[in-house]
A and B are shown apart, each in its own frame.
Chain A
Amino acid sequence: MAADSYDDVAKNKESIPALEVAPQDLYHAKSFWTKYIFCQDAKVIGIQYALTAAAIGMVGLVSSWLMRMQIAFPGVIPMDAAAYYQLVTMHGMIMVVYLLTALFLGGFGNFLIPLMVGARDMVFPYVNMVSYWVFFLAVLILAASYFVPGGPTGAGWTLYPPQAITSGTPGGDGLGIVLMLVSLAVFVIGFTMGGLNYVITILQARTRGMTLMRLPLTVWGIFTATVLALFAFPALFVAGIMMTLDNMLGTSFFMPAIVEFGERLSYDGGSPILFQHLFWFFGHPEVYIVALPAFGIVSDLISVHARKNIFGYRMMVWAIVVIGALSFIVWAHHMYVAGMNPWFGFFFATTTLIIAVPTAIKVYNWVLTLWRGNIKLTIPMLFSIAFIITFVNGGLTGLFLGNVAVDVPLSDTYFVVAHFHMVMGIAPVLVILGSIYHWFPLITGRFLNEKLGRIHFWVTFIGSYSIYFPMHYLGFMGVTRRYFEVFESDNFTYSITGINQFITVAALITGAAQFLFFYNIIVSSKFGKKAGKNPWKACSLEWQTEDVPPTHGNFGKELPVVYRWAYDYSVPGADEDYITQNTPPNAVANAKAEQT
């Protein structure tokens, strides 16, 4: 970007025409209820989403502890097979949908989108508020299933029929499965309302000068993930509604003719495979609904904490979009063992491997951003580097499982569990944790405690690898997932028992470290070191608000005007090592952005 061009713009600043659209009318809260409970401010809604997701996420975390105890030390915690399957199911669904999706899109999306694009709020604040409460209702319905006769469903998080709604499955003949399906349908309705706001705010309510190609990658990640959800969640909704009808009204959409405990049920002619197609048409894009915001956020964290512009910005944007598009034509790689035409398998194996190309572009660009950067090993940076390593590890095992011939023997083993936990569990969680350390000063005006943060990072990072690396080995040994008990036998030797015990101890310690993190959040929000304005010296707009934490309306009397992208770090000729997006050209006349 040549300096003379900035001068030209500065000279023409007076001639900038007035905006065609009138400023947004904001609802100003008048009571405690409208300010903190039924609030229409996207920042508060984001925090509400995050707290609710974290609360139900803790249930998911404790579920995993109990499962691991059963696998490694059976009998220590009294549990039957039904309870184990219920824990497996609830852990999976809570973590994927109610924690990760809700936290990334509802939490980060609400808090960051208006601030980063330079808007006062979402375009439909009332709908946004309703969206949160519908999500809250979905969580309540899900949680209610713990308290109904028979307990929650134990069908596995994929809820495959026919077993999901037959009486041999925990919760299958009671309210457990119904509450799960209804909760998912309500979640989709709530998300559609939220997604409406994210997409349209990003498309139509950006501040002046904020073109699409000047958006921070965080916004690109959340935007593309929301568009994916817009196409993918209806499949979950459709599958959920049809299975509910099969269960409650006796239709046979997914239920074939079936004999249960010697009794012929009234179902006839339904297709369980059809459910699998619908589920994975949602389920695979869901991986990217979680991953794409993580990709975007980590790009921003790396750039800020390496004091360097993101490498290949335009390619990063396109990679996000291409990954999103490809994610809709790979779903059947989750169904290789369901029985399919070999050409069908060949097609899905090919598309699965193709998706590695834009993903690899992103990994190279993150590494090249770090290359010769002024790397600050802050806690967000530590989590970001850990993410890159973990994502590469998890991604590489995805190449194994994407191939039909390799997937078939590894299917339903712990290798699969290790793969998806690394790539869509641990990797995005590392980004979530890193970004909380990064944006906590913006949310509260204070830093999180550094010492506790570093302990939290190292325990989480080493602990995660202690849990999931050995699981790959278990998978190769043929240890099957979802087994309630693994007895020692000729095939399953003492080493497997030992590994399982090691994994369980690691899981307990890693889980406990998260409670240290929650403690840090609670204490630091009151007593943490004061951060002041823009403590990381970041370029993007969310740090350029008049007040920290930003107040209702975000930007004081006038909205910022954007003159550059969000990555002008270490620009030659500039006085400081960052130029914020709203710095006018004449304020940095000597900066040579084209040399960065």
Chain B
Amino acid sequence: MSNKKESLIGQLTQKPWEPSQVKIDNLHEGKTFNLHVGKLGLRYIMIVSTIMFCLFIVTYADRMVYDDWIRMPEPFLLWINTLILVFSSIVFIRIQLASKNNNFEKVRRELVLIGVLAVIFLIGQLLVWQNMIEAGYYVSGSPANGYFYLFTTLHGFHLLGGLIYWVMTINKVWKLDNIIVRKAKHTLELCAIYWHFLLAVWIVLFGLMLFS
């Protein structure tokens, strides 16, 4: 008997001194949520990242209302880079389906594709930088320029962090045996969630730069 599915508020309002509650508590399994620690850990990281990006966005919103705000141009390459991220997320959905069906040949193949897409995206972002610099949009040129380089750098670093986890995922999927199939599936799921998160972050940042 476990009350781990009880809400956090429910757990905080328990009366642990009451005999009926004592009986329940003594059988409590020790978990607050019905979640794997890895999944909860990933949520923790995504919350911290979200708070960080939200704070950057708050400062962006604070700055853009001033008269001297000059928009950056939106190079076409940024749209292509965005499509690469969207395509990566679609590939990850396919990977998850293949993993569910234990089709690990397909998982391996498409995981490699994920890595290739990520590298193409990063190179694409660097090309955008190069184009911008050549067109005279330097980081110190205007506040909008500063935010553009800042946002793309931070997002890029998040993707690089994701690539480290991707290497660990590849490692698990390649060394697959009966014992670690479950672990590999779990790692794949976490990797996929993180990739979808990066797409969501990018769409918010890109949208912000596009419509401000």
B22 CB within 8 Å of chain A: yes
B56 CB within 8 Å of chain A: yes
Residues from chain A with Cβ under 8 Å of B150 in the complex: 241-242, 245, 251
A269/B32 in contact, CB under 8 A: no
Residues from chain B with Cβ under 8 Å of A579 in the complex: none
B211 CB within 8 Å of chain A: no
A374 CB within 8 Å of chain B: no
B68/A269 in contact, CB under 8 A: yes
Residues of B within 8 Å of A, CB-based: how many?
45
A200/B146 in contact, CB under 8 A: no
B52/A237 in contact, CB under 8 A: yes
Most chain A CB within a 10 A radius of its CB, from B3, B45, B55 = B55
A200/B40 in contact, CB under 8 A: yes
Residues from chain A with Cβ under 8 Å of B139 in the complex: 245, 249-251
Bound together, the chains give a CA A302 to CA B69 distance in angstroms of 58
| CB closest residue in chain B, given A559 | B30
Bound together, the chains give a CA A82 to CA B30 distance in angstroms of 54
B178 CB within 8 Å of chain A: no
B30/A196 in contact, CB under 8 A: no
A269/B66 in contact, CB under 8 A: yes
B134 CB within 8 Å of chain A: no
Residues from chain A with Cβ under 8 Å of B29 in the complex: 19-21, 208
Residues from chain A with Cβ under 8 Å of B48 in the complex: 192, 230, 234
Q: Would you give the shortest CB distance from A231 to chain B, in whole angstroms?
A: 6
Contact with A along B12-56 (1 / 0, CB 8 A): 101111111011011111111101010011001101100110011
B143 CB within 8 Å of chain A: yes
Q: Would you give the shortest CB distance from A421 to chain B, in whole angstroms?
A: 29
A251/B44 in contact, CB under 8 A: no
B140 CB within 8 Å of chain A: yes
A440 CB within 8 Å of chain B: no
**Contact partner, B27, options A16, A196, A281, Cβ 8 Å:** A16
Chain B interface helix/strand/loop/mixed: helix
Q: Would you give the shortest CB distance from A267 to chain B, in whole angstroms?
A: 9
**Contact partner, B40, options A118, A204, A208, A565, Cβ 8 Å:** A204
Most chain B CB within a 10 A radius of its CB, from A117, A207, A238, A252 = A238
Asked, given contacts A5-B23, A123-B41, A252-B146, whether A271 binds B62 with beta carbons under 8 Å apart, the answer is: yes
| CB closest residue in chain B, given A3 | B19
B143/A17 in contact, CB under 8 A: no
Residues from chain B with Cβ under 8 Å of A245 in the complex: 139, 146, 150
Asked, given contacts A234-B51, A238-B56, whether A212 binds B32 with beta carbons under 8 Å apart, the answer is: yes
| CB closest residue in chain B, given A596 | B17
A1 CB within 8 Å of chain B: yes
Bound together, the chains give a CA A314 to CA B16 distance in angstroms of 9
A2/B19 in contact, CB under 8 A: yes
A204/B17 in contact, CB under 8 A: no
Bound together, the chains give a CA A118 to CA B5 distance in angstroms of 21
A214 CB within 8 Å of chain B: yes
Contact with B along A241-268 (1 / 0, CB 8 A): 1100100011111000000000000101
B130 CB within 8 Å of chain A: no
Residues from chain A with Cβ under 8 Å of B146 in the complex: 245, 249, 251-253
Residues from chain B with Cβ under 8 Å of A118 in the complex: 30
Residues from chain B with Cβ under 8 Å of A269 in the complex: 63, 66, 68, 143
Q: Would you give the shortest CB distance from B37 to chain A, in whole angstroms?
A: 5
Residues from chain A with Cβ under 8 Å of B37 in the complex: 123-124, 200, 204-205
Residues from chain B with Cβ under 8 Å of A200 in the complex: 37, 40-41, 44
A203 CB within 8 Å of chain B: yes
A219 CB within 8 Å of chain B: no
| CB closest residue in chain B, given A238 | B55
Q: Would you give the shortest CB distance from A155 to chain B, in whole angstroms?
A: 20
Residues from chain B with Cβ under 8 Å of A594 in the complex: 17
B91-109 contacts to A (CB < 8 Å): none
Bound together, the chains give a CA A436 to CA B185 distance in angstroms of 44
A210/B30 in contact, CB under 8 A: yes
A289 CB within 8 Å of chain B: no
Contact with B along A344-357 (1 / 0, CB 8 A): 00000000000000
Bound together, the chains give a CA A213 to CA B19 distance in angstroms of 14
A21/B31 in contact, CB under 8 A: yes
A206 CB within 8 Å of chain B: yes
A213/B30 in contact, CB under 8 A: no
Asked, given contacts A16-B27, A196-B44, whether A212 binds B22 with beta carbons under 8 Å apart, the answer is: no
B140/A124 in contact, CB under 8 A: no
| CB closest residue in chain A, given B28 | A211
Bound together, the chains give a CA A371 to CA B86 distance in angstroms of 64
Q: Would you give the shortest CB distance from A555 to chain B, in whole angstroms?
A: 13
Q: Would you give the shortest CB distance from A512 to chain B, in whole angstroms?
A: 41
Residues from chain B with Cβ under 8 Å of A332 in the complex: none
B59 CB within 8 Å of chain A: yes
B1 CB within 8 Å of chain A: yes
Bound together, the chains give a CA A281 to CA B140 distance in angstroms of 26
Residues from chain B with Cβ under 8 Å of A204 in the complex: 30-33, 35, 37, 40
Bound together, the chains give a CA A253 to CA B62 distance in angstroms of 10
Most chain B CB within a 10 A radius of its CB, from A118, A231, A252, A585 = A252
**Contact partner, B30, options A1, A207, A252, A564, Cβ 8 Å:** A207
B40/A203 in contact, CB under 8 A: yes
Can you list the 5 inter-chain pairs with the closest CB atoms, starting with the nearest?
A5-B19, A250-B140, A206-B30, A251-B146, A234-B52
Beyond A196-B41, A269-B143, 9 extra complex contacts between A and B, CB < 8 Å: A192-B48, A195-B44, A204-B40, A208-B29, A209-B28, A238-B55, A242-B59, A249-B140, A278-B59
Q: Which residues of A contact B (CB under 8 A)?
A: 1-2, 4-6, 8-9, 12, 16-17, 19-21, 117-118, 123-124, 192, 195-196, 199-200, 203-214, 230-231, 234-235, 237-238, 241-242, 245, 249-253, 266, 268-271, 274, 278, 281, 314, 317-318, 321, 561-565, 585, 593-594
A-B contacts, 20 listed (Cβ < 8 Å) = A1-B19, A12-B23, A19-B29, A123-B37, A123-B41, A192-B45, A199-B44, A204-B30, A211-B14, A212-B11, A212-B14, A241-B150, A242-B150, A249-B140, A250-B140, A253-B146, A271-B63, A274-B63, A314-B16, A563-B26
